[in-house]
Amino acid sequence: MPGASSTRAPVARPQGAALRPHRGDLWWWMRWPSRDGTPDSSTGVPLTPVERTSDAVRRIVGVMAAVEDG
């Protein structure tokens, strides 16, 4: 309903993807907004090894769609 105020709390949205070391190799990571003073370097989740970029893209698109749907 246009103009109506929302009572939902803001949803934390992914900030982007980055390559970071994980399990002795480079992996794609999805970064999330920092909460409660947590350093940005530790806010994220590993997605896939760097060789599987298409898998990382699929996971990122899935998460973004879920966030948009609420």
pLDDT at 51: 95
pLDDT at 1: 47
Rounded mean pLDDT of 29-48?
Answer: 73
Beta carbons within 8 Å of 19's beta carbon, 6+ residues apart: 26, 27, 28, 29, 50
Percentages (nearest 5) of helix, strand, coil residues in the chain: 35, 30, 40
Which amino acid type is present at position 46?
A: P
pTM over 0.75: no
Question: Taking 60 as the threshold, does the pLDDT of residue 53 lie above it?
Answer: yes
Percent of the chain with pLDDT over 70: 61
